[in-house]
Amino acid sequence: MALGILAIGGYLPKARLQRTDIANANAWFNPALKGLAKGERTMANWDEDSVTMAVEAGRDCLTGIDRNIVAGIYMASTSFPFQDRQNAGIVADALNLSTRIQTLDISSSQRAGSSALLTALQSIHSAEGPILVSASEKRRTRAASPLELTTGDGAAAVLVGEGEPIARYIGGHTEAVDFVDHFRGEGETFDYSWEERWVRDEGYMKIAPNAINNLLDKVGVSAQDIDRFCFPVAMRRAASGLARKIGIAENSVADNLQSSCGETGSAHSLVLLVHALEQAKPGEKILVAGFGQGCDVLLFEATEAIKTAGDRLAIGGHLAHGRAENRYTRYLSFNNLLTMERGIRAEVDKQTGLSTLYRNKGMSQKLLGGQCSECGTCQFPKSKICVNPDCGAIGSQADEPFADKAAKLNSYTADRLTYSPDPPTYFGMVQFEGGGRMMSDLTDIDPDIELEVGISMRMVFRVKDYDMLRGFRRYFWKATPQNDTH
């Protein structure tokens, strides 16, 4: 059996903020931003964060795979919603994974994604099954800063293990160097960045070549043999300049997705790797790096099984189905960069009873309902009594997962009296295929497309509400219109 990547997945938010709108809004203060005003960047909804995006990438990756075989989940991010609550554990719950797995958060560096992948590959021999690696990022940036235009929100996931991989792992190498190109101190909201030319000349062009050459020497592969080179930085021509210095063909440099997505922080090495694997042919060698206080480098070779990688949305599917967003103030509001009058209805105390949350997390985080063992009726939520009037059995229900069930919209309404960070509040009745229904919040509603009763819906894991007083957020499942990519 070979060691490598068994499956890939990805997630990019539907909204794509147009960079011209960012630049135009701030041109009075910083006209130079117009030089970065080409293309668009991904923009997470108000109810999305690094956890919810990691869940979506993980669901995509595990499509058609028995989740009981997953032995661990490693989550990488520098924008974790919780500093002292394991974020990977929330993702594991939402994916309805076994409790007999290892969960691990990896952070504090822009190479957290590549480090998580390298750690997982090194751990496989002692693990009891494949490990899911998910990297996700939703960073906040100062208004009118270059980072506001060059960054983006998104996530990617890969399942690594032994078996018949779509990409065989050839080797990896790390150079750990405390090179501070930027930092975010304790209690700080935004990154502080240093001068670009110095970062390029002293960082990218010295540290990265050393790491790459050491790996190539170790595994006995020539730079000319690299077919796809993924270097996850937003700086123009940095990757191509690095490729020339090492001897990698310039046409092997992967698109850094700057024009269509933006640089997704610690997730970007995995985002580029997943996107490269979507396009790879058997036998191609893919080199991916992660840069941040040193450099991780990993080398893979696509196998014949790579032909099955296209049955997921991954990154390409999400890139193709975005929705242009021109409201810059909406982006500012969603990221708490704008102080808005939210009204009295927004002042309700959102304290979460942690004991109640724990008792009900099967329903709220895993979306588990029930199926009657007597008559087969499915229902949500699970209860002691079967809802089938011809049955009514007591204590007969087994856990039934609803998160991935096909559904239809039975009814809906839009309410501007109920508070929502993105009014109006949409909610409605969702009917699941095979039985079961629930009254659900609706999310990612396109304002230019009218909802219709009977349309297909998909359940997504999102933030239910924020408790700003205590710094807590509750998650739940919401329904969103099913587009033709799923």
pLDDT in tens, 184-194: 999 999 999 99
Which residue carries 């964060």 as its tokens?
Answer: 49
Stated length of the chain = 486
pLDDT tens track for 375-384: 999 999 999 9
pLDDT score for 311: 82
Per-residue buried b or exposed e for 150-160, using 16+ beta carbons within 10 Å of the residue's own CB: bbbbbbbbbbb
pLDDT confidence of residue 486? 45
Is the confidence at residue 449, as pLDDT, over 90?
Answer: no
Arithmetic mean of pLDDT over the chain: 95
Q: Does residue 484 register a pLDDT over 70?
A: no
pLDDT, greater one: 293 or 236: 293
Q: For the residues 167-177, what does the mean pLDDT come to?
A: 98
> Longest C-alpha distance within the chain, in Å?
75
* Predicted pLDDT at 362: 95
pLDDT digits (tens, 9 = 90+) for 451-470: 999 999 999 999 999 998 99
Cα→Cα distances 115→86, 105, 109, 263, 269, Å = 18, 11, 9, 17, 10
CA 319 to the chain's CA centroid:
13
Q: Give the mean model confidence (pLDDT) for residues 265-275.
A: 98
Residue 71 has pLDDT above 90, yes or no: yes
Asked whether 442 and 426 are in contact (CB, 8 A), the reply is yes
pLDDT at residue number 293: 96
Is 344's pLDDT higher than 90?
A: no
Q: What is the mean pLDDT of residues 423-446?
A: 96
pLDDT average, residue stretch 342-366: 91
Q: What is the pTM of this model?
A: 0.96
Report residue 21 as tokens: 């709108």
In this model, does residue 431 exceed pLDDT 50? yes
Residues 290-321 as b or e (16 or more Cβ within 10 Å = b): bbbbbbbbbbbbbbebbeebeebbbbbbbbee
Band of the pLDDT at 485, cuts 50, 70, 90? very low
pLDDT for 8-46, tens place per residue?
Answer: 999 999 999 999 999 999 999 999 999 999 999 999 999
Mean pLDDT of 210-226: 97
Q: 185 is written with which tokens?
A: 């101190």
What domains, with CATH codes, occur in the chain?
2-183+192-334 (3.40.47.10), 352-367+402-481 (2.40.50)
Distances (CA, A) of 448 to 189, 260, 329, 413: 34, 22, 18, 16
Percent of the chain with pLDDT over 70: 99
